[in-house]
Amino acid sequence: MAKVGFIGLGIMGAPMAENLQRGGHKLYLHDQKNPPYSLIEGGATVCTSGSEVAKRADIIIVMVPDTPHVEAVLFGEDGVAAGLTAGKVVVDMSSISPIATKDFAKRINALNCDYLDAPVSGGEVGAKAASLTIMVGGPEAAFDTVKPLFELLGKNITLVGGNGDGQTTKVANQIIVALNIQAVAEALLFASKAGADPAKVRQALMGGFAASRILEVHGERMVKRTFNPGFRIELHQKDLNLALQGAKALGVSLPNTATAQELMNACAANGMSGLDHSALCRAIELMSNHQIAQA
């Protein structure tokens, strides 16, 4: 049994923490809101700060929305860094800037602790089912230490390279996901406007070369109009912004990523930033004055 700290118990963090608890590990929790009662009932300890979590746990997992949040959790007043002692491992499972990640790792390493960036893909469904894809950057020894915890959270677990490489992989993942959502939205809208039943079109396409997880899950959301968030548009906006900032720094062009970002911007401008990212279809529907399906 490991002593595991978990900071950030939102849509993704709460079910991830529950899976660790079911795996027999002792949890030390910290969040801006009260942690789920089920975790406390299961024996988790609620801590008043990141510093307290770091003092009591040997492995500290962070799962918060964006780069500034991670920096505040780690290095803010009474943050994780203030409670660390040599030999502990900090694992950031948020999706944040690869450049900032490398800086965070150096600052944690200076305290004689290891740092892993381990963002995930799979959304709320994957978090609950412990089927997340986990992309890890950092030293192999630290990865081996934490891998038994990762195996309670996900199925496809890969040590990609050094610190920052996990976050780079997640940005690449988010590019692919966004462009696939856009492709599915355009295809289903085209079919619907042409008079075909989008549900049956989706069903037919699932048996061919166009089949994908996005068509399966998010195509169904578009048809059934179920946009309650598994992964919010505002978070995917943030990830695509990281991609476009990185592209500028690297001197490469990502034209379709920029288009997908503008579609998400349009959704946000129309009050939809809190919807699931499959609702990107709404921007295309607004431009076309046609919905894929009626609610």
The β-bridge relationship of strands 120-121 and 132-137 is antiparallel
For the purposes of burial, counting CB atoms within 10 Å of the CB of 43, is it exposed (0-12), middle (13-18) or buried (19 or more)? exposed
**What CA–CA distance (Å, rounded) separates 169 from 37?**
34
From the candidates 55, 88, 128, 170, give the one annotated as an active-site residue. Answer: 170
**What CA–CA distance (Å, rounded) separates 166 from 149?**
17
Cβ atoms of 295 and 227 within 8 Å: the answer is no
Cβ atoms of 242 and 97 within 8 Å: the answer is yes
DSSP tag of 232: B
**3-class SS shares of the chain: helix, strand, coil, % to 5:** 55, 15, 30
165-193 helix and 255-269 helix, angle to the nearest 10 degrees:
70
For the purposes of burial, counting CB atoms within 10 Å of the CB of 266, is it exposed (0-12), middle (13-18) or buried (19 or more)? middle
CA-closest candidate to residue 163, choices 110, 103, 121, 120: 103
* 170 belongs to the catalytic site: yes
Q: Determine which helix (DSSP H) or strand (DSSP E) holds 62, and give its type and residue range.
A: strand 59-62
Q: Which residues are catalytic?
A: 170
